[in-house]
Amino acid sequence: MELGFSSATAATWYLCRPLLDVTPAAVLPGQPGRPDVVRVEGTSMSLEWMAPEDIGAGAITGYVVDIYVTSGSGADHYAMEDVDEVTTSHTIVGGSLQEQTSYTFAVAAKTDVGQGPLSDLSDAVQTNRGYYVDFSSAARAVQPVNTCRQSPTAVSQLLSS
């Protein structure tokens, strides 16, 4: 509301009109799930998240991905990318991220009405020098096996199972 000055008394203030057109939170989309970094390849990172349970008064038209540089003193906002697709994954490629730098991410859903609240921050993940790291659930299900200390028979049995 805008404050106005009453001419009737020098000490009387009154409310004139709204200054901001505020969209009620009930019509905005809810908070998406916390993003997970599922793949790192050089200075590219792939994210996945859950759509908000409450989509508000309109269909989701896309997402905003906020990128934060993470250091020992916290996370500083670094950049933002628009995802103009109705998808719950996004790959940030090349020029947006720097080598050997730690990042966290947050996402927000967009509708024709507006942007909802940001998700909780992802875990901090560092870019690398050109090699590939897969954090997806399928990759996590694979357990590494140390075959150097196994007998040839044990390795053969392990591979045939």
All structural domains of the chain, each given as residue ranges with its CATH number in brackets, are 25-141 (2.60.40.10)
Which pLDDT does position 89 carry in this prediction? 93
At residue 160, φ and ψ (nearest 5 deg) are -85, -10
Segments in the chain below pLDDT 50: 1-20, 138-152, 154-156, 158-159, 161
Burial class, 159, CB count within 10 angstroms (exposed 0-12 / middle 13-18 / buried 19+): exposed
Distance CA 154, CA 49 (A): 40
Residue in 150, 36, 40, 24 with CA at minimum distance from that of residue 104:
36
Per-residue pLDDT tens digits for 11-30 = 444 444 444 455 566 689 99
What is the structure's pLDDT at 95? 73
pTM of the model as a whole = 0.66
Q: Which pLDDT value is given to residue 79?
A: 85
